[in-house]
Amino acid sequence: MSEVTQIQTHWGEWIPLRDGVRLSADIVRPVTASPVPAIVVRTPYGKNTTAWVKTARFFAERGYAFVVVDVRGRGDSEGHFEPYFGEGIDGYDTVEWVAQQGFCTGKVGTLGGSYLARIQWLTALERPPHLSAMVVSVSPSDPFVEWPTGIPTPHHLAWLFMTSGRQMQRSEAVDWERVYQHLPLSTMDEAAGRPLAHWKQEFSHPSLDDYWKRICYQTRYEEIDLPILHISGWYDDEQVGTPRNFAGMTELGRTERARRSQKLIMGPWGHAVNTVQRLGEVDFGPQSLIDLQGVQLRWFDYFLKGEDNGIVHEPPVSLFVMGINKWRQEREWPLARATYTKYYLHSGGHANSSYGDGELTVSRPGQEPADAYVYDPERPVPFITDMVSAQIGGPDDYAAIERRDDVLVYTSAEMTEPLEVTGPIVVELYAASDATDTDFMAKLVDVWPTGFAQRITDGMVRARFRDGMERPELIEPGKVYLYEVDCWYTSHVFLPGHRLRVEIASSAFPKYDRNPNTGDALGSYTRVKRAVQQIHHQEQFPSALILPIIPGDN
């Protein structure tokens, strides 16, 4: 469509909510006597930023009213900020207010990433009549999906600190490395110098109870009747939600129209999608960056303006296959042609570190001795990340960390031909501990011929939550349990000369809090103890990495 060259901006417009609180909005729209569709963005990070000003101009010049709103209690808006709670109702009121304005046709879309994405889902559950389409990027999942630990992660405190008060706080002023070591965890906020009521509140609900269920959406896809464009990256630290949401909506969406009106884009990106072609030491090439804003425009043009631009007739899934660094279009997710193949853990009982004898093969184990290591919460295995960052981890080199004896390392033979792995990654781990509660971490690694040990993806399980976040139960010391470690998703080709590797450990700090191994109430403990862990790989305990392998010639 032709661009509208003249736009007008209305700063600080008030949007009244049903309880009398007013939200502050900046509205950028074309100069025209005719009504236009509207796009609503709600943010806790400040509506008047350079990025949002540029985005608003882009859409306004192309015939949209772009409405950027400070959420309740943040920026210029009234009320008290309580993350996620109440955002669905506020979203309903905001969408309906915009739809009733004279500048709007009554067609309203929503846009945004991370916090801004999850509150779109909460709004959709309220079913505002004029909400017509969504674009959700890097959407956080339901409570405990990303952190199945029962308590908030250390980085979550840094986020709460940053969003406390009405303006963005200077998180870099805090010595987070010191703060993350603080015990008990429930007073870590005080150690950071800023007591936070919400931090304390979350610690009082260490399982998936009714408190958390109020802000769950991933069990309610059948209530949502909307076309949704889902966007994330394989190295997004909240990646798991996006493919899961796409699959959930295509299978369970409220209507056939909704189920057929979903689109998924997964790039080689971190949380800030489509911004850089290089993450850490890995350069994914210039083709890794796309005209993502152009895709978003086409999505809204089709569903808000009714333009037959063909976007819904294209394959609904766009995947960037890492390793070969190419985009590929698919008809579904997960891929129906994937062959789920088990790579079994083997050793002579000494898989400790990359210098050990751990192996990965497709052959089932026989009567092999278990591997053992000592997990010491005072000396946790590091997870490579900044102490405070919008991006937790990436395609980082774990070669140095794999030298530790409390990291078990299982490695395949060199690839003789490309091996594509696209889909969900799971590790079935038969493990025992002399503790009553502990953690087990699994990481999939691509070992390059140079020795570079590239993290592909990872996951963890907390022993007391082995049967789900609603049913915590301590374990019996010495007993072997089967733990299913969800390592999320990837699309990656292991090239000839490269090797598959799995790391097993009991900590990944500070991505997750350190389990004290005591079985004490989560977050309130001050004492920790060492735990002796055993990983079994015998005929009756066949620990394995399960890979979705895609046949060649794709």
Look up the CATH number of the domain holding residue 356: 2.60.120.260
The residue annotated as part of the active site, out of 24, 77, 114, 412, is: 114
Q: State the pLDDT at residue 552.
A: 85
The gap between the terminal CA atoms of the chain, to the nearest Å, is 35
* Whole-angstrom distance, CA of residue 466 vs CA of residue 205: 18
pLDDT tens across 280-309, in order? 899 999 999 999 999 999 999 999 999 999
User: Is 243 a domain residue?
Assistant: yes
Other Cβ atoms less than 10 A from the Cβ of 106: the count is: 16
Enter the tokens of residue 342. Answer: 């088990």
> Alpha carbon of 196 to those of 178, 520, 522: distances in Å?
18, 23, 18
Q: In the structure, what pLDDT confidence band is assigned to residue 553 with cuts at 50, 70 and 90?
A: low
User: Is 2 a domain residue?
Assistant: no
DSSP 373: E
Both 324 and 270 in a single domain?
Answer: yes
CA angle, 50 as apex, 57 and 27 as ends, to 5°? 45
Interval 489-513 mean pLDDT = 98
User: Is residue 148 within 8 Å of 461, Cβ to Cβ?
Assistant: yes
Domain boundary pick from 330, 348, 381: 330
* Whole-angstrom distance, CA of residue 508 vs CA of residue 146: 14
Q: Does residue 155 surpass a pLDDT of 50?
A: yes
Of 74, 161, 62, which is closest to residue 116 (Cα–Cα)? 74
Helix (H) or strand (E) holding 28: strand 22-30
Both 352 and 484 in a single domain?
Answer: yes
* Whole-angstrom distance, CA of residue 243 vs CA of residue 396: 23
* Whole-angstrom distance, CA of residue 381 vs CA of residue 507: 5
Question: Can you list the alpha helix ranges (DSSP code H) found in 220-358?
Answer: 241-252, 256-259, 292-305
Based on the residue annotation, tell me whether 232 is a catalytic residue of this protein: no
CATH code for position 49: 3.40.50.1820
User: Is 292 a domain residue?
Assistant: yes
Q: State the pLDDT at residue 470.
A: 94
User: Is residue 264 within 8 Å of 333, Cβ to Cβ?
Assistant: yes
Both 170 and 225 in a single domain?
Answer: no
Both 321 and 378 in a single domain?
Answer: no
User: Is residue 399 within 8 Å of 446, Cβ to Cβ?
Assistant: no
User: Is residue 513 within 8 Å of 149, Cβ to Cβ?
Assistant: yes
Enter the tokens of residue 282. Answer: 């890995």
User: Is 403 a domain residue?
Assistant: yes
Domain boundary pick from 330, 355, 371: 330
Of 549, 534, 425, which is closest to residue 484 (Cα–Cα)? 425
User: Is 175 a domain residue?
Assistant: yes
Both 394 and 467 in a single domain?
Answer: yes
Q: State the pLDDT at residue 1.
A: 45
Adjacent-strand bridge partners of 500 = 446
Q: State the pLDDT at residue 278.
A: 96
The residue annotated as part of the active site, out of 155, 198, 271, 537, is: 271
Both 343 and 382 in a single domain?
Answer: yes
DSSP 361-402: ESSPP-SPPPEEEEE-TTSPPB--S-SS-S----S-B-TTGG
Adjacent-strand bridge partners of 39 = 66, 109
Would you call 44 helix, strand, or coil by DSSP? coil
Question: Can you list the alpha helix ranges (DSSP code H) found in 317-406?
Answer: none
* Whole-angstrom distance, CA of residue 483 vs CA of residue 306: 49
Both 190 and 243 in a single domain?
Answer: no
Enter the tokens of residue 391. Answer: 């991006």
Q: In the structure, what pLDDT confidence band is assigned to residue 121 with cuts at 50, 70 and 90?
A: very high
Q: Does residue 114 surpass a pLDDT of 80?
A: yes
* Whole-angstrom distance, CA of residue 506 vs CA of residue 426: 16
Both 198 and 147 in a single domain?
Answer: no
Q: Calculate helix-pair angle for 87-99, 115-126, nearest 10 degrees.
A: 70
User: Is residue 399 within 8 Å of 486, Cβ to Cβ?
Assistant: no
The residue annotated as part of the active site, out of 236, 301, 437, 486, is: 236
Q: Give the β-pairing of 36-43 and 104-113.
A: parallel
Q: Which domain holds residue 68?
A: 7-151+206-330
Q: State the pLDDT at residue 4.
A: 67
Domain boundary pick from 312, 330, 348: 330
- Mean pLDDT over the full length of the chain: 96
Residue type, 205: H
Report if pTM > 0.85. yes
Residues in the chain: 554
Based on the residue annotation, tell me whether 114 is a catalytic residue of this protein: yes
Q: In the structure, what pLDDT confidence band is assigned to residue 387 with cuts at 50, 70 and 90?
A: confident
pLDDT tens across 10-31, in order? 999 999 999 999 999 999 999 9
Total tally of structural domains belonging to the chain: 3
Q: What is the dihedral of CA 245, 251, 252, 253, to 10 degrees?
A: 70
pLDDT tens across 181-209, in order? 999 999 999 999 999 999 999 999 999 99
Of 427, 420, 236, which is closest to residue 322 (Cα–Cα)? 420
User: Is 1 a domain residue?
Assistant: no
DSSP 215: T
* Whole-angstrom distance, CA of residue 14 vs CA of residue 10: 10
Both 318 and 455 in a single domain?
Answer: no
Both 190 and 174 in a single domain?
Answer: yes
Q: In the structure, what pLDDT confidence band is assigned to residue 3 with cuts at 50, 70 and 90?
A: low
User: Is 458 a domain residue?
Assistant: yes
* Whole-angstrom distance, CA of residue 513 vs CA of residue 1: 51
Q: What is the dihedral of CA 54, 55, 59, 62, to 10 degrees?
A: 40
Q: What are phi and psi of 40, to 5 degrees?
A: -110, 130
Both 380 and 239 in a single domain?
Answer: no
Spell out a b/e string for 46-74, using b for 16 or more CB atoms within 10 Å of the CB, else e. ebeeeebbebbebbbbbbbbbbbbbbbbb
Based on the residue annotation, tell me whether 271 is a catalytic residue of this protein: yes
Enter the tokens of residue 86. Answer: 């109440």
Pick the more confident residue, 170 or 324. Answer: 324
User: Is 260 a domain residue?
Assistant: yes
Handedness of CA 530, 534, 535, 540 (dihedral sign): negative
Would you call 106 helix, strand, or coil by DSSP? strand
Both 27 and 106 in a single domain?
Answer: yes
Percent of the residues in the chain that have a pLDDT greater than 70, as a whole number: 99
Q: Does residue 502 surpass a pLDDT of 50?
A: yes
Give me the sheet containing 131-137, strands edge to edge.
Answer: 7-16, 22-30, 65-70, 36-43, 104-113, 131-137, 228-233, 262-267, 317-321, 326-330
Interval 49-69 mean pLDDT = 96
Residue type, 484: E
3-state helix, strand, coil in the chain (%, to 5): 20, 30, 50
